[in-house]
Structure 1
Amino acid sequence: MTPDQIGFALLYLGLFLLIGKWIRIRVKWMQNLFLPSSVIGGFLALILGPQVLGRLLEPVTGEGSFWATGLLSPEVMDVWSPLAGLMINVVFATLFLGTVLPNLKKVWHIGGPQLAFGWSLGWGQYVIGLLLAMLVLVPFYDMPPFVGALIEMSFEGGHGTAAGMQGTFEELGFTEAYDLTIGLATVGILSGVIIGIIAINWAIRRNKTQVIKDIKETSPLKKAGIVEFENRDAAAQMTVRPESIEPLSLHFGITGLAILVGYLLLQSITWLEGALIGSDFMTYVPLFPLAMIGGILVQLVFTKIDKAHILDRQMIMRIQGFSLDVLILSAIGTVSLDVIGEYLVPFLLLALAGIIWNVFGLLVLGPRILPTYWFERAVGDFGQSTGITATGLLLMRVADPEMKSPAYEGFGYKQLIFEPFLGGGLVTALSAPLVFQFGPIPFLIFSAVMLTIGLLTGLLYFGRMKE
């Protein structure tokens, strides 16, 4: 593969992102579903690539024809395939860069109810998934027990986590889990947005919402994904002079430092594990959760030494958003339809089990755990636990466009404790290796205990604050 081929493959990413955005602006039903342009572009790439268009044209044009791979050459697919696994490290390294960590009392008071709710949803996905694996998928479909962890990986973690686990799945001897997880993550985003919008309409009609009273209040520009003219503030600050260093370059360097710190941590822990106890468990652990810890450590250092406040959170979020767009488009565009077809019934069972549990959490657990503005707050965690964090923020913005409820603040505080463990954190990264190493029963028991703690704290403590 030549540098030119790599460069053109990356340019194709930008082209499909642009086409996805153009489709989002032009197609009303996609606007109403608030589908991200990266998801639209990813599906378009999948359809125009070798797995759909290529297979339709190959019998006509011949196996060696240019059209046998659709509009995307094998070189493009070779470049795109590992991109998601690389970009997830950027996404997780930037989670806490540029943030100010509040005191624990404020986090507990405002974010505690949403932590209990999100904690219950996340651990419940493990309980449901592992039970499904042990009772159905392992005995009847000859799948490894750790497939029970795929619901949480894909629904809570999204495409990024799925991509980050690709190497781990290879080490565990079931590479098909990657494509299944990417497929489940795609189902999660779509079902999260569709069910979330339906739930918001239902909640408004049933007077379950306390902020918005009419879904039509959402402006056409917002549905098209365009910021209204009056709301166009600076997306990032120029904290350093460009003649010294471009601000984007500075923040990219800080992000790279965070990833490097995470890499050194992973290598050190792996070496210590091998030297002290002779185990190889950490070799199954991907880099991205350690990149997140690297980001926290770098942020702690900058909090002490950055007196000029050169680290701008908005600039970091632009880097994170770009990485996430590339990640989602490349992951969907390269997912293997063969694997999903081969394991179609297990795939559908896992997807259905995850969706049912999350809907149950939204409609049944939400009003009983969250003491105030229960729907505005619950729909955000539903979106995150079904799709990704961006889906949760999107649904909260629809349900509370002017941020009058404590949903955003509580959601943000919850993330400080939630993200290091679930939704792509340490537990998500370790779950498959742990099940592989020790079997599904110990992890099922542990997950059930964590679920019980979340439910009891939410129902008996935070839920009673309403009174």
Structure 2
Amino acid sequence: MESWTLQFTAAQFFLDFAWLGALLIAGTLLRKKIPFLQKYLIPANLLAGTVGLFIGMNGLGWIDLTSERLGVYVYHLLALLFIALGLRAPKKRLGLSSVKFGLIFISSYLIQAIIGLAIAFILIYTIMPDLFAGIGLLAPLSFGMNPGIAFSIGQNWEQFGFQSGGIVGLTFAAFGFLAAYTMGIWLVRAGIRNGEAKYVNSDEGLSEDVRSGLVKNPVGNSEEKITTSPESIESFTFHIGLIGFTYVVTYGVLKVMEAGLVWIGSEQEVTTLWSFHFIAAAIIAISMRKGFDSIQASKYIDDVTMTRCSNLFMDFMIVASVAAISFAVVAQYWVPLLSISLFAILATWLLIQMMTKSAFNQFRLERFAAIFGNMTGTLQSGLVLLRILDPTMKSPVSFNLVYGSGLALIFGFPLLILINAPVHYFSDINEGFLAVLFTLILYLGLISFFWQYLRKPKKQ
């Protein structure tokens, strides 16, 4: 609940977002000017967050950006991101390839979680007996899902003894971004040199626009629709307002649910409820979209504009999440952070390689790169790697990536509920997380069973 109760002034709020905007400009200029950053296609939002980390209050202290306030922004931007995605038109047909993507995603979640918990317990029973076992579950939350989710869950666990849990989640996310844009770029370039890419013959084929991050000759966007009369309200403003209205509804629904939990005597579940606010936001957004569809009002909602809104929230969220990292927290947890990250990322690489090889005959490199980027960074990371191999998005991989991610969230929803069971329903939290570990292993076995019926296609 700290993300709803932390008090700071309006001046701090607007200055914080002004600084985040300035950092994004700085990140864009760094990408434009430095060849090394162009070589590895490091996105401006990640560069901006890194600059913010070093000159903010956790670094040199040149600008007043604190982990507490940045964490609040990450929390709320996560919900706004899910709302923008949920208000878009629903997909009519998933397709078998998207289902396979979803199963690869959920398998990656499970592998990351199993390895994370296993390493956490090894450390608990050897050199770090006071370590909070749930730290192992922050790996899949930050790598495979989203830094905002990792922060939200980690912060919720702070009341159960996990010191600086929210910041630890953001630190895992930073390690994931590092893997996505180093190992991922290496994978892409090696594949191009080996002739595995379908649409790119050599890594010199990348356009200057892609390398620098700025379009030399901008052109108009013919896909976006203006759905309002500008003398009444700007179309982009209308879409932002619709997102804000949906968040107000989400807040009201959560307050009602909170009152219900208190009424039935389950006050201990209230903080967990608010840590999953992004799921409630997504469900309400999808429900509202269906309502708009039923009364034929959805014609005023443009999917391209909603995608731009989601990208806006994603950029600011990544800047805030990286800038919020604390060097003191890294120093405290460096052993589990480093060991879990290394083994989880390596296992993710091997798992995705094995599953894409067995499931697809076409676009293997494109699919491998996109999934790896998504399962270590964010959906944006996966699309960045894919765009190198498929600049015009001719392949079905971008489609599979987006809808496979949505399917994986459905498959993974029980896991989000499961991971909080140890802190609520076990007198010994370690015993609870051990139970979760064995449950995850069983779930992975079940996924593996179903996978046998989907792999080895004739042509996909």
Same fold (TM over 0.5): yes
Match of 1:433 in 2: 420
Corresponding residue to 1:121 among 108, 120, 133: 108
More deviation in 79-88 or 226-235?
Answer: 226-235
Please tell me the residue identity of whatever aligns with 2:455.
G
Please tell me the residue identity of whatever aligns with 2:433.
P
Match of 1:240 in 2: 228
1:329 counterpart SS class:
helix
Q: Contact conserved, 2:117 with 2:137, CA < 8 A, in 1?
A: yes
- Output aligned runs, 1:33-182, within 5 Å: 33-53=40-60, 70-73=61-64, 79-102=69-92, 106-137=93-124, 139-141=126-128, 142-165=130-153, 167-182=155-170
Corresponding residue to 1:374 among 364, 379, 396: 364
Q: Contact conserved, 2:74 with 2:321, CA < 8 A, in 1?
A: yes
Kindly provide the CA deviation profile for residues 14-70 of structure 1, in whole angstroms up to 9, marking residues without a partner as x: 1111111111110111112121212111111211223332xxxxxxxxxxxxxxxx3
Q: Contact conserved, 2:99 with 2:407, CA < 8 A, in 1?
A: no
Q: Contact conserved, 1:117 with 1:454, CA < 8 A, in 2?
A: no
Q: Contact conserved, 1:90 with 1:255, CA < 8 A, in 2?
A: yes
Kindly provide the CA deviation profile for residues 146-198 of structure 1, in whole angstroms up to 9, marking residues without a partner as x: 11211011111232223333541333331322222111101101211211111
Corresponding residue to 2:444 among 444, 451, 454: 451
- Looking at structure 1, the residues matched to 50 and 359 of structure 2 have their Cα atoms a distance apart, in angstroms, of 37
Long gaps (5+) in structure 1: 54-69
C-alpha displacement of 1:231: 5.9
Match of 1:191 in 2: 179
Q: Contact conserved, 1:371 with 1:462, CA < 8 A, in 2?
A: no
C-alpha displacement of 1:339: 0.9
- Looking at structure 1, the residues matched to 422 and 204 of structure 2 have their Cα atoms a distance apart, in angstroms, of 47
C-alpha displacement of 1:2: 4.8
Long gaps (5+) in structure 2: 1-7, 427-431
Matched, 1:396 2:401: no
Please tell me the residue identity of whatever aligns with 2:29.
W
C-alpha displacement of 1:73: 3.1
Matched, 1:16 2:23: yes
Match of 1:57 in 2: none
Match of 1:67 in 2: none
C-alpha displacement of 1:228: 5.9
- Looking at structure 2, the residues matched to 371 and 138 of structure 1 have their Cα atoms a distance apart, in angstroms, of 44
Please tell me the residue identity of whatever aligns with 1:125.
Q
2:199 counterpart SS class:
coil
- Looking at structure 2, the residues matched to 114 and 90 of structure 1 have their Cα atoms a distance apart, in angstroms, of 25
C-alpha displacement of 1:238: 1.2
**TM-score, normalization by structure 2:** 0.89
Q: Contact conserved, 2:170 with 2:324, CA < 8 A, in 1?
A: no
C-alpha displacement of 1:311: 0.4
- Looking at structure 2, the residues matched to 262 and 139 of structure 1 have their Cα atoms a distance apart, in angstroms, of 44
Please tell me the residue identity of whatever aligns with 1:122.
Y
- Output aligned runs, 1:148-297, within 5 Å: 148-165=136-153, 167-227=155-215, 229=217, 232-234=220-222, 236-276=224-264, 278=266, 280-285=268-273, 286=275, 287-297=277-287
- Looking at structure 2, the residues matched to 175 and 441 of structure 1 have their Cα atoms a distance apart, in angstroms, of 20
- Looking at structure 1, the residues matched to 286 and 125 of structure 2 have their Cα atoms a distance apart, in angstroms, of 38
C-alpha displacement of 1:312: 0.8
Match of 2:5 in 1: none
Count how many residue pairs are aligned between Structure 1 and Structure 2: 443
- Looking at structure 2, the residues matched to 170 and 465 of structure 1 have their Cα atoms a distance apart, in angstroms, of 46
1:418 to 1:212, Cα distance in 2 relative to 1, 3 A = same
C-alpha displacement of 1:420: 4.0
Q: Cα RMSD over matched residues?
A: 2.4
Kindly provide the CA deviation profile for residues 255-302 of structure 1, in whole angstroms up to 9, marking residues without a partner as x: 123323333443344444444464633532311121111111111112
- Looking at structure 2, the residues matched to 402 and 342 of structure 1 have their Cα atoms a distance apart, in angstroms, of 45
Q: Contact conserved, 1:156 with 1:384, CA < 8 A, in 2?
A: yes
Matched, 1:442 2:435: yes
- Looking at structure 2, the residues matched to 115 and 73 of structure 1 have their Cα atoms a distance apart, in angstroms, of 41
2:156 counterpart SS class:
helix
More deviation in 204-213 or 22-31?
Answer: 204-213
Kindly provide the CA deviation profile for residues 96-154 of structure 1, in whole angstroms up to 9, marking residues without a partner as x: 2122321xxx4142312212211211121111112222222465312122112110111
- Looking at structure 2, the residues matched to 79 and 283 of structure 1 have their Cα atoms a distance apart, in angstroms, of 19
1:229 counterpart SS class:
coil
Kindly provide the CA deviation profile for residues 293-316 of structure 1, in whole angstroms up to 9, marking residues without a partner as x: 111111111221234611011111
C-alpha displacement of 1:330: 1.8
Q: Contact conserved, 2:167 with 2:325, CA < 8 A, in 1?
A: yes
- Looking at structure 2, the residues matched to 258 and 3 of structure 1 have their Cα atoms a distance apart, in angstroms, of 22
- Looking at structure 1, the residues matched to 62 and 266 of structure 2 have their Cα atoms a distance apart, in angstroms, of 49
Q: Contact conserved, 1:116 with 1:455, CA < 8 A, in 2?
A: no
Please tell me the residue identity of whatever aligns with 2:214.
I
1:188 to 1:145, Cα distance in 2 relative to 1, 3 A = same
1:49 to 1:211, Cα distance in 2 relative to 1, 3 A = same
